[in-house]
Amino acid sequence: MEHSNQFLGTERIGKLMKQYAIPCIISLLVGALYNIVDQIFIANASYLGSYGNAASTVVFPLTVVALAIAVMIGDGCCAFVSISLGKNEAHTAKKSVGNSVVMMVASSLVLTAIYLVFADSIIAMFGGTVNAETFHHSKEYFFYISLGIPFYMFGQAMNPIIRADGNPKFAMVSTLAGAVINIILDPIFIFVFKWGMMGAAVATVIGQIATAALAIWYLFNMKIIKPTKSDFGLNTHVCGRTLILGVTSFLSQISLVAAMAAINNMLRKYGAMDAIFGQEQYAQIPMAVVGIVMKFFQIVISIVVGMAAGCIPIVGFNMGANHKSRVKELFTKLLIAEASVGAVALILVEFFPRQLINIFGAANESVYYTDFAIKAFRTYLCMMIFACVNKACFIFLQAMGRAAASTALSMIREVVFGVGFALLLPIFFGLDGVLYSMPVSDILTFLVAIFLIRGTYKQLSVKESN
């Protein structure tokens, strides 16, 4: 190899965190902006408004399904490569990259076919039938977004692989390029051409194509890991190990989809029982508003996940090299940083919810829209600090190779608590019960996470000579 990443085992932890985490944060923030930018422009287009916002909320979980598969392959490969390089096993690292590329291409084509064939049923499953106008917009948006799935998945899966190759800046630039294109085209297609939901989707897909094109170029110009033709031949052991290391990323995303499906359907069901939102002209408001709140949460979580995921190569290399004291130092710094992000986000949602909702076209909507949005921001996200620390634990444990513990914690949060409380609490509290499900889930997950955090510190306190 012409290049080496041995500096991961010697450079100051704080410097490495900045070097790897910041580009990763920017990459994920830019990725989150794809859907959020669409929603901002949609919300401020008077001919779309809350109907278009609700449609975006319906389709959003379906893009997360694609993301879940992509990050399982990409993050799994990133962890596998980092651990392999820490052990000086470059041949295994190259094989993982080659196999991951094949898996991501095949899975993206299959998912696209499923989305196109079963579009109506899938949209209905995620609450798109709240009213006829929302269903119409959802179907139009979903069709064009589905066509871009292969490009979206390839770009997202390659991002962590590029970071593992020691080039977090290129990973950031490739994602940023696609987002800038999307931001430029959105207002042109929505306001000038009046293409509506189709315009928002097409702008997004064009940006995703640009990101994928840059990722393909990098694949053929990697600086540390240079896969050859033979590395693209599927190997059962390599594929299995890659997917196992990435399964936590997959479950944290796919279980979020399950939670969103439950939330959307509970909003539709209990909104219909509400005196205001039971009226046809206001029926889409709860779904549109909660979708916006989720998008803000996604921005915060992009920062949190970016910090933790950016550290995967550092953690993997030092665990492979048995530098446990460095991993322990990194874990401490990461937990403090994640809690700080959560504290800032909490201040924003509790004290400035009106300003946040105004970004998403509140001026064009009824007072019911604004009032429900303020309540949703303050209630749904009131335990942001715990949510941020929980996410950091999921990813850090995964990077250490503790896939079972990471997966268990993720599943408890998103499926047992996330889906469970979203279905249970509305029975007792109606529409407000949907809003309570998030903070209750985060509190209980944090109580479980405390035990895993303590166990991690004990594991990392064992002398390195052992």
Q: Hey, what are 157's tokens?
A: 């899966």
pLDDT for residue 35? 66
Q: Convert the pLDDT of each residue in 293-322 to its tens digit.
A: 988 898 898 899 888 888 888 888 888 788
CB atoms within 10 A of CB 443: 15
- The set of residues, in sequence order, having a beta carbon less than 8 Å from that of 109 and lying 6+ positions away, is 150
With CA atoms as reference, report the closest residue to 261 among 107, 426, 128. 128
With CA atoms as reference, report the closest residue to 364 among 42, 134, 44, 131. 44
φ/ψ (deg, to 5) at 246: -100, 0
Per-residue pLDDT of the chain (466 residues; tens, 9 = 90+): 344 567 888 788 888 888 888 887 887 787 677 667 887 888 888 888 788 888 988 998 899 899 999 999 998 998 898 888 878 888 889 999 999 999 999 999 999 999 999 999 999 998 888 888 999 999 999 999 999 999 999 999 998 899 888 888 898 899 889 989 999 999 999 999 999 999 999 999 999 999 999 999 999 999 888 899 899 999 999 999 999 888 877 876 787 788 888 998 999 999 999 989 999 888 989 998 998 898 889 889 889 988 888 888 888 888 878 888 898 999 999 999 999 999 999 999 999 999 988 887 766 788 898 999 999 999 999 999 999 999 888 888 877 877 778 878 888 888 899 899 999 999 999 999 999 999 999 999 999 999 988 988 888 887 654 4
pLDDT for residue 4? 57
- The set of residues, in sequence order, having a beta carbon less than 8 Å from that of 350 and lying 6+ positions away, is 377, 378, 382
Q: For the chain, state the CA radius of gyration.
A: 22
Alpha carbons 175 and 378: distance in angstroms, whole number: 31
Alpha carbons 88 and 93: distance in angstroms, whole number: 9
Question: Which residue stretches of 165-284 are H helix?
Answer: 168-187, 196-219, 236-271
pLDDT for residue 466? 44
Q: Is the dihedral of CA 182, 186, 192, 193 positive or negative?
A: positive
pLDDT for residue 312? 81
